[in-house]
Amino acid sequence: GQNIDQPTEMTATEGAIVQINCTYQTSGFNGLFWYQQHAGEAPTFLSYNVLDGLEEKGRFSSFLSRSKGYSYLLLKELQMKDSASYLCAVRDRNDYKLSFGAGTTVTVRA
């Protein structure tokens, strides 16, 4: 099974940078996903890491260290529309089960 930890809430100012950490303990690792979920809406895919290192996608980047069981999602040049919950999810070797953290609510203030 998985044990996934991420902070509950974070607040940042428009234009700033925020880093959301995710730590996990797993019996078998087969990829880590980040999803964004606006209030009352479905989660949408942001990024995927399976190898160590940084994946960059526009204003969003995601980092993975498998040896440390650690990932972060970096949001740059924050915009008001980035106010949402960010979900870290880990896939185990079963390859069909995806376990989610409880999510980090990011509030962007003007």
Residues near another protein (CB under 8 A) are 1, 31, 33, 40-45, 48, 50, 87, 89, 91, 95-103
CB 40, CB 51: distance < 8 Å: no
Nearest approach in angstroms of CB 101 to another protein is: 6
Tokens 């974070």 identify what position? 10
Nearest approach in angstroms of CB 99 to another protein is: 7
d(CA 45, CA 109): 24
How many Cβ atoms from other residues are within 10 Å of residue 30's Cβ?
Answer: 15
Nearest approach in angstroms of CB 61 to another protein is: 16
Nearest approach in angstroms of CB 12 to another protein is: 22
How many Cβ atoms from other residues are within 10 Å of residue 27's Cβ?
Answer: 10
CB 34, CB 91: distance < 8 Å: no
